[in-house]
């Protein structure tokens, strides 16, 4: 069975929600970089229960009414990537961590660059909050949705404006 998708509007542009069976597999950005997340062919289904529930929870988040998501997730990646993505889930709403913090958390303190690469391939943006990962200096660094979207999400969560790095 092909993964199913639904496109929704959001304050950070159109988002493409993708489900595999009964789990959320991806949230992709409007101007998604080709092959950042490998999913293969997709089939549209705007009524799929997982996609509808994801949309509902995202709208609550954007309205400032939700701080935690309650969705079954289907991370597809290497063991290392999945460990990084799972670590993202532990970053509390309104807080940030550095790539170094994540590397230490997963028990590989010298893997800072690899953590950055895995973070950049996070398939479930916003829900697995890769936007909460910043440079050690406190600067905003690359983000699949663009730095303006990253700043918006951090501001929504109450973070002060951070320095943008291009």
First to last CA, the chain: 40
The catalytically annotated residue of 15, 118, 130, 149 is: 130
- Other beta carbons within 10 angstroms of residue 130's beta carbon come to 26
Task: Indicate if 130 belongs to the active site.
Answer: yes
- Measured distance CA(33)–CA(42) in Å, rounded: 16
- Measured distance CA(111)–CA(117) in Å, rounded: 10
Residues 6+ apart with CB under 8 A from 58: 8, 10, 15, 27, 126
Give me the active site residues, please.
Answer: 130
């Amino acid at each position: 069975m092909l993964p199913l998708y639904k496109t929704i509007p959001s304050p950070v542009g159109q988002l493409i929600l993708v489900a595999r069976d009964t789990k959320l597999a991806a949230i992709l950005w409007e101007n998604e970089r080709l092959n950042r997340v490998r999913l293969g062919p997709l089939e549209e289904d705007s009524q799929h229960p997982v996609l509808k529930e994801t949309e509902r929870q995202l709208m609550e988040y954007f309205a400032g009414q939700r701080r935690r998501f309650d969705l079954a997730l289907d991370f597809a990646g290497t063991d290392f990537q999945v460990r990084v993505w799972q670590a993202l889930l532990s970053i509390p709403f309104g807080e940030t961590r550095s790539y170094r913090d994540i590397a230490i958390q997963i028990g590989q303190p010298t893997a800072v660059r690899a953590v950055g690469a895995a973070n950049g391939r996070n398939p479930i943006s916003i829900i697995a909050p890769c936007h909460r990962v910043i440079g050690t200096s406190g600067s905003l660094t690359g983000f699949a949705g663009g730095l303006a979207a990253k700043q918006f999400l951090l501001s929504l969560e109450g973070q002060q404006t951070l320095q943008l790095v291009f």
